[in-house]
Structure 1
Amino acid sequence: MDGSLPPGWPDEVAPPGAPDWERTAVAWLYDLVPHDYRAHEVLRRYPVLLARFAADHVAAGLEAARAGWRTVRVELADQLPPDAMEAAIRAYEREGARLSQAARGVEVVAGALRGERWVPRL
């Protein structure tokens, strides 16, 4: 990780100021949202708005993963064998971790799209 990038900066996004960095940011943000979001001209025109939509979508997914993790044992206890239940719990945990990382990435990319510059603290 480049010391000039904030923690959580996505590997798929070029650093701010690099050639085509905004294009890589937009491509990464679109990868986080449903494909249908590409049909909205306003999101293509305003990357900072796309970042907002991505943040909302990722947050909803994270909440869904957390809710699933909390309730799957009770709701499907009679329908899944123990090994499948444990695999489901692990899947919810991995998805929660992935979405938490994506949420942090969206946060720092959105800041850069708004013109914020990160300065490391000593």
Structure 2
Amino acid sequence: MGDERVPPGWPDVVRPAGAPGWERTAVTWLLDQCPADYRAYPALRNQPVALAWLALRHVTAQGQANAAARSAARAELREHLTPDALEGVLVALDREHARLLGVHRGVRLVGEALQGLRYVPRL
């Protein structure tokens, strides 16, 4: 985003905290980080702090599942995949790990902002 009002790692699609309509963009993005069925629950859509809390848990669980898969992939898939295919799976898992780290940071930052914490840039 390049906006000095947001911390590094703030999701590009979420407006800066305090800007008009920022909570709506935060809720939309947070819902994108959760299972699609969560959109059906008004209690989650209407309680952004609770949604952020839950989204953080989902992203954390995804990271744990990714770590377990990266740990087990070679041993469990080597008999079923060609070496090139297995390497492709491992690369995909590594890339997903990096993406999830960024999403985790973004969810945490948005959740903190929804709780009223505001980013103050360091000089």
When normalised by structure 2's length, the TM-score is 0.95
List 4+ stretches of structure 1 deviating above 6 A: none
Report the residue type matching 2:68 in the other structure. A
> Where does residue 19 of structure 1 map in the other structure?
20
Query: How far is the alpha carbon of 1:121 from its aligned partner?
Result: 2.2
**Which whole-Å CA distance do the structure 2 matches of 1:74 and 1:94 have between them?**
20
> Where does residue 66 of structure 2 map in the other structure?
65
1:1-122 aligned within 5 A: 1-122=2-123
Deviations 1:47-94 (A, max 9, x none): 000001100000000111111111100001111000001000000011
Report the residue type matching 1:38 in the other structure. R
Aligned sequence identity (%): 52
Indicate the SS of the match to 1:83.
helix
C-alpha RMSD over aligned residues: 0.9
**Which whole-Å CA distance do the structure 1 matches of 2:23 and 2:46 have between them?**
12
Query: How far is the alpha carbon of 1:101 from its aligned partner?
Result: 0.3
Query: How far is the alpha carbon of 1:41 from its aligned partner?
Result: 2.0
**Which whole-Å CA distance do the structure 2 matches of 1:56 and 1:69 have between them?**
20
**Which whole-Å CA distance do the structure 1 matches of 2:46 and 2:5 have between them?**
27
Deviations 1:13-34 (A, max 9, x none): 0011212110000000011111
**Which whole-Å CA distance do the structure 2 matches of 1:79 and 1:104 have between them?**
35
Deviations 1:89-121 (A, max 9, x none): 000011111111000000100011111011122
When normalised by structure 1's length, the TM-score is 0.96
**Which whole-Å CA distance do the structure 2 matches of 1:27 and 1:58 have between them?**
16
Structure 1: any 5+ residue segments left out of the alignment? Answer: none
